Amino acid sequence: MKLIAAADRRWAIGNKGNLLVSIPDDQRLFRQETLGKVVVMGRKTLQSLPGGQPLYGRTTIVLSRDPSFQVKGAQVARSLEDALKALQTYPSDDIYIAGGQEIYEEFLPYCDTAQITWIDYEYDADTYFPNLDKCGEWELTAQSEEQTYFNLCYEFRIYKRKTIVR
């Protein structure tokens, strides 16, 4: 499984239910990577999408503890265990964990790759992605050249879970 996110210097990912910034190349990358794949997200992340609806062309699994929550075009899982069971029918490489903070934290132990759009800026934020640079289990394995969007600098990074030899 893969994690996919855009994070600032402090690994912030959102504020008051919204993304910190919309960068067209980041949105293109997200679309390119996830189209035709499985996207896992929390209810709040789903509700932050246009119309609060699942993204076109993807299988969407939404986690929500609310027993009455339903959404057309998506499968609802009530727990991490329910979601993991539902995901067993899909190839691991086709599964993308797409937020928010609690979902990233819950799925982190099950993922082997993180695709991060790293933004060289600090935003006001209330939600965060786990800091992979400080996590001994992860290593930065690839990064793009610095990109710019107006005066904003960012880069695409790939982190891999380190192989532990026993």
- Residue extents of the structural domains in the chain: 2-161
What's the whole-model pTM score? 0.95
Torsion angle in degrees (nearest 10) through CA of 144, 149, 151, 152 = -50
Q: Which CATH superfamily is domain 2-161 in?
A: Dihydrofolate Reductase, subunit A (3.40.430.10)
Specify the pLDDT at position 166: 43
CA 82 to CA 67: how far, in whole Å? 13
Q: How far apart are CA 166 and CA 17, in angstroms?
A: 42
11's tokens: 């690994």
pLDDT values of the chain reduced to their tens digit, one per residue, 166 residues: 999 999 999 999 999 999 999 999 999 999 999 999 999 999 999 999 989 999 999 999 999 999 999 999 999 999 999 999 999 999 999 999 999 999 999 999 999 999 999 999 999 999 999 999 998 999 999 999 999 999 999 999 999 999 754 4
Q: How many CB atoms lie within 10 A of CB 83?
A: 22
